[in-house]
Amino acid sequence: SRLLILDESTSMLTPQGIEELGALMRRLVEQGLAIVFITHKLKEAAAFGDRISVLKLGRKVGEITPPRLKFLGEKAAITEIVEMMFGKQTDDPDAERHAETFARPDAAPLFEVRDLSVAPMADSPGLKSVSFDIRPGEILGIAGIDGNGQKQLAEALSGQRREGEGEIVFDGQPITGLSVSGRRKLGLRYLTDDRLGEGTV
What is the model's pTM? 0.52
In the predicted model, what is the mean pLDDT of the chain?
A: 86
- The string of pLDDT tens digits covering residues 4-31 is 999 999 988 889 999 999 999 999 999 9
The edge-to-edge listing of strands for the beta sheet with 165-170 is 127-134, 111-118, 165-170, 173-174
Q: Closest Cα to residue 50, out of 39, 32, 65?
A: 65
- Which residues lie below 8 Å from residue 40, measured CB to CB, with a gap of 6+? 8
Q: What is the pLDDT of residues 101-141, one digit of tens each?
A: 555 667 888 999 999 998 888 777 888 899 999 998 888 88
Contact criterion met (CB below 8 Å) for 35 and 64: no
Assess contact for 78 and 46: CB atoms under 8 A.
yes
pLDDT confidence of residue 94: 53
